[in-house]
Structure 1
Amino acid sequence: MHHSYRTTHHSRRLALGAGLLAAVALVTVGAAPARAEQSFGPTVQLDLGAGGVSADQQSTSLGISGNGRIALFSSSATNLVPDAAQVGFGLYVRDLRSGRTELVSRADDGTPLTALDESAGISADGRFVVFSSGAAGVAPGQPANGAYNVYVRDRVEGRTRLVTVGSPDPTGQNDIGAYHPALSADGRTVVYESARTDLVPGAPVQPNARNVYATDRVTGRTRLVSVGVDGQAADGDSDNPTISADGSTVGFSSRATNLLPPTPGSSAAPALGAQRYTTLYTRDLHSGSTALAGLAADGTAGSAAPVVRLSPDGRYAVYALGTYPLPGGKARTELFVHDLRTGEVRSIRTSTDPAALCWADTTAAISADDRWVYFSGGCSTTIVHAWQARFDLYRQDLRTGATEALSPAADGSLQSGAAAVPYVSANGRTVVFADNSTNLLPGGTTDNNWHVYARTRSDD
């Protein structure tokens, strides 16, 4: 079970090229957003080995420390560190100041790990990295059952510790793993998904159903996040958790229909009915309350791409919803930001033309001051086929609505490929992203693999 589940997650991130472009289908560009060359420095590549050698296989961005110094990414490259050839697929950090690349997916004894989920997270200071692995001998206390577990790597002490401890000798858990971890800024709280039933003894969960959990690494306490109303078991799978930097709020996707109280006079959750499409929720870890996050601009729940990002303070959720209809019955995804405090929902677009149809990658990032949203997508007022749709990197000022383009080619022309999966430092000055263009750097590149890049504001 855990092998096929891991493959699904792994391919979701690394197959960015096909996934991004196919998601747009037929769509019907207002004024071009302003370029950002004056405020941002040049684009620099991050998936580099000793001597500045470029990764010889594809790489994908996974995060950046709060201070903007340490970037986290995954790669299938064999030439980034001396023992990378043993890995096949690994998790790395790059120090943007020193230029040093480090393999962080290592066992407690330093052995490179070969069985990895594609998700990972990094603490604000860059010290802790969380990941999931199905390898044997990763850390003390690990069950010897071959299942995936969640671990935290301490880069300062050079130690790896087990997070998903569970009950001793969990009967029936031999082939059930834990995946898709995320980490709070202080490295204390880890969230993840799992179909295990031993993580919180007595918790209301259905057998074989995926749920979201949060573990406090200081106290060792694990709690169930995806819990139904009145303490009931969620009646559908919950996945893809994320956590706000301050550790207060967890976001996740779910097909459950009982996470919220029913609408008065109805047995159905608000705006959901009996539909089993994926939608997005947030859970306040302090109050224990769950809220519907994946709303369209009219306040109705939409069919969501199964990814939600939160602002560092947990106030805003950013996500993509499927939008219908389009010529030929096709669909597209459009990006939204939901203010969870006021309830306001706005569409994030690269065009001010209300007639333009816009699309977006399912990932986006918000700076710590709640001002800037970084995203990949585009808009058009004419019919564009999926393989012609552009996914450029932008940032939008949530106060003014002004939008800047961040992924031009080295000569200022349009990039030749697509940008995706942005992450931004807490101060909004450094953004890391994945891109498969061949012309982002002076002189270009010789391959069209996905690589990881960064741009940093050159002013204050």
Structure 2
Amino acid sequence: MEPKNRTTRARRLARAAAGLLAVAAAVTVTAAPAQAAPAWGPITQVDLGVDGARANQQSMSLGISGNGRYALFSSSATNLVADASPGFGLYVRDLRTGRTELVSRADDGTALTSIAEEAGISGDGRYIVFSAEMNGVFNVYVRDRVKGRTSAVTNATASGASEGGSYEPAISADGRRIVFMSARTDLVPGAPVAPNTRNVYVIDRVTGATRLVSVGVDGQAANGDSEHPTISGDGRTVGFTSKARNLLPETDGGTADLARLRFTTLYATNLDSGTTVVAGLDPDGTPGAAAPTLRLSPDGRYAAYALSAPPLPGGKARTELFVNDLRTNRVQSIRTSANPDAICWGEPSAAITADDRWIYFSGGCSDTVIRAGQARFDLYRQDLRTGRTELLTTASDGTPKDGAAGDPFVTDNGRTVLFGDNSSNLLQGGTGSDWQVYIRSLKNS
């Protein structure tokens, strides 16, 4: 099993933005875009290196500590630290001191050269979890930034590489629980795991116990791949996508006969109760045709995801963003427009604040297009209680930016957001057209 393409998210947004540009001329403009609240401060770049130099290659946002001090990102830049990894590395920037630190290191401090794209940061910024190839196979590792040590979360040798490695780690806020995906069959002795099938696991770093999450009904092996795991900040809920059709009974409270579905389904598992539910629901309560990722709120109550929607004019594909209250199964559409006739689009990489009040997301609607040819993936935040929406990304002079925003991560209090953007006019003086990483904070934060 090979690591995922490191530019998957960037290319997805770039393709989607290009498609929207092609159809924007056919969209009727009916209203001005939502405006950012005046309390927001300027947008500042995060992927900076020695002497504040801007990254000389693309970077992607990966996470922010709960208190907003530490930002995690990946980059192919060679000018961020003195011993940058050739081609690709994981970095943490201290937003208070301005220090950029390479965290994809072996325990002896050596910069690692084969890193998978996905990584995560604990709530206090101390622990970084990632997947890297050492000794011929990919394993999950955790880096303790305080002690300067890297330790293996999973263990496998080159002789066992035929079973595949372990990928896509995410970490709880307290750093105790780590979720990941693996096709190995030896991670939990006696666990029902089908050969050559990807499964989702969680490991407790305090007890050392590893648990299979993607297990079928009555303890049977999942009969399809499960991947893209995420974990709530409190470490109690795991979200993942799966092609398996036996994770729930065939008739689950009238939801649907999952055995008849042909698309990937989004699930959420409560680790305390062991209960698994469908997270990616349509507004009518049935499982939807979802994009293969989801995000959970820090308390695990809400799942954010994107569902396939009728094509845009010209036949271009699109997805719309939704939030599901996992306690009540109330599904809420997240749109930048209250106009029911507006054509909207949204990305599944949305972030929800710790108080379940605000959602930060990338998307747009046909009536937030300034003029023909400028349908964009902008960054917004929406009040989940009132529906009030704020636009957070514009060019440095307040005019529309010329690129796409994506992959937002937000602090617990919602006062700072980390995101990626490939606009060339986001900052004064220009930023090129590569994907770079930025933050925006409330002025009094």
TM-aligned CA distance change 1:38 to 1:325, over 3 Å: closer
What CA distance in whole angstroms lies between the structure 1 residues aligned with 2:100 and 2:215? 40
Equivalent residues in 2 for 1:267-278 (5 A)? 270-278=256-264
In the alignment, the residues of structure 1 paired with residue 160 and residue 131 of structure 2 have an alpha-carbon distance, to the nearest angstrom, of 20
Number of equivalenced pairs: 441
**What letter is aligned with 1:191?**
V
Partner of 2:249: 261
Match of 2:443 in 1: 458
Partner of 2:132: 133
Which amino acid in the other structure matches residue 72 of structure 1?
Answer: L
**Contact 2:14–2:404 (CA<8 Å) still a contact in 1?**
no
Residue 56 (structure 1) aligns with: 56
Q: Give the equivalent residue in structure 1 for 2:182.
A: 194
Q: Secondary structure at the residue paired with 1:41? A: strand
Q: By how many angstroms is 1:442 displaced?
A: 1.9
Structure 2 counterpart of 1:419: 405
Q: 2:302 aligns with which of 270, 292, 316?
A: 316
> In structure 1, how many angstroms separate the alpha carbons of the residues matched to 2:263 and 2:42?
42
Q: CA deviation at 1:329?
A: 4.7
What TM-score comes out, normalization by structure 1 length? Answer: 0.91
User: In the aligned structure 2, how far is the partner of 1:280 from the partner of 1:57?
Assistant: 33
Q: Alpha-carbon deviation of 1:170?
A: 10
Pair 1:263–1:126, CA change in 2 (3 A): same
Q: Which residue of 1 aligns with 2:120?
A: 121
Matching residue of 1:235: 223
In the alignment, does 2:140 pair up with 1:150?
yes
Q: Which runs of 5+ in 1 are unaligned?
A: 137-145
How far does the alpha carbon of each residue in 1:23-57 deviate from its partner, in whole angstroms, 9 at most, with x for none?
75858555334322512110000000011100000
Deviation at 1:129, TM superposition (A): 0.1
Q: CA deviation at 1:16?
A: 4.5
Q: Which moved more, 1:409-418 or 1:72-81?
A: 409-418
For residues 52 and 198 of structure 1, the distance between their equivalents in structure 2, rounded to whole angstroms, comes to 46
Q: 1:140 aligns to what?
A: none
CA distance in 2, matches of 1:440, 1:385: 19
Separation of aligned partners in 2, 1:326 and 1:438 = 26
Structure 1 stretch 449-458 or stretch 385-394: which is displaced more?
385-394
Segments of 5+ residues of structure 2 without an aligned counterpart are none
Describe the SS at the equivalent of 1:455.
strand
Q: Is the partner of 1:373 in helix, strand or coil?
A: strand
The alpha carbon displacement at 1:124 in A equals: 0.6
2:150 match? 160
SS in 1 for 2:294: strand
Aligned to 1:141: none
Residue 271 of structure 1 and its aligned partner are, at CA, apart by: 4.7
Find the counterpart in structure 2 of residue 142 from structure 1: none
After TM superposition, the score normalised by the length of structure 2 is 0.94
- CA root-mean-square deviation: 2.4
Of residues 292-301 and 248-257 in structure 1, the stretch that sits farther from structure 2 once superposed is 292-301
Partners of 1:230 and 1:170 in 2: CA distance: 34
Q: Which amino acid aligns with 1:259?
A: L
**1:323-382, CA deviations, whole angstroms, 9 ceiling, x for partnerless residues?**
125545543100000000111101100011000111012210000000000000101159
CA 1:158–1:296: 2 relative to 1, 3 Å: same
Contact 1:21 1:387 in 2 (8 A): no
Cα offset for 1:96? Answer: 0.7
> What is the alpha-carbon distance in structure 2 between the residues aligned to residue 316 and residue 279 of structure 1?
16
Q: Give distance in 2, aligned partners of 1:442 and 1:180.
A: 35
Shift of 1:13: 2.9
1:449 paired to 2:434: yes
Match of 2:101 in 1: 102
How high is the sequence identity, in percent, across the aligned residues? 64
CA distance in 2, matches of 1:164, 1:402: 44
C-alpha spacing 1:419/1:228, structure 2 compared with 1 (3 Å): same
What's the offset of the Cα at 1:165? 3.4
Pick closer, same or farther for the CA change 1:252–1:390 going to 2, 3 Å: same
1:294 aligns with 2:294: no
Q: Is the 8 A contact 1:114 1:135 kept in 2?
A: no
Letter in 2 for 1:261: P
SS at structure 1 position matched to 2:227 = strand
Of 379-388 and 201-210, more deviation after overlay is shown by: 379-388
Residue in 1 that maps onto 2:191:
203
Distance 1:383 1:367, change over 3 A: closer
Question: C-alpha distance in 1, partners of 2:275/2:19?
Answer: 33
Answer with 34-43 or 90-99: which moved more: 34-43
Report the CA distance shift for 1:408/1:174 in structure 2 as closer, same or farther (over 3 A). same
The aligned amino acid for 2:105 is R
With 257-266 and 434-443 compared, the bigger mean Cα shift is at 257-266
Shift of 1:387: 8.2
Matching residue of 1:93: 92
Cα distance in structure 1, aligned partners of 2:49 and 2:368: 43
Q: Is the 8 A contact 2:296 2:303 kept in 1?
A: yes
Equivalent residue number for residue 14 of structure 2: 18
